[in-house]
Amino acid sequence: MMIIEARPDGSGVVEIEGSRREVDLSLLENPKPGEYVIVHAGFAIQKLDEDDANERLAMFEELAKSMEE
């Protein structure tokens, strides 16, 4: 998910495919809007570079398409 907003209190907003969620960003060092993160149970747990994030999103899209068939 991409960070849309990082708040001073450690919370923030992330987005994927137009869906936004409030998450806890406090486990990350200096989170910034535009960065990609892995989110689990409402916590951003790891930053990803853009290439890695795009690769993972493509894999999830392929998985979803195969499940529809």
Please write the tens of the pLDDT for every residue from 4-46.
999 999 999 999 989 999 999 999 999 999 999 999 999 999 9
Domains and CATH numbers, the chain: 2-68 (2.30.30.140)
Q: What is the mean pLDDT of residues 38-57?
A: 94
- Whether the per-residue pLDDT at 69 is higher than 80: the answer is no
Whole-number Å distance between alpha carbons of 23 and 66: 29
pLDDT score for 27: 97
- Whether the per-residue pLDDT at 68 is higher than 90: the answer is no
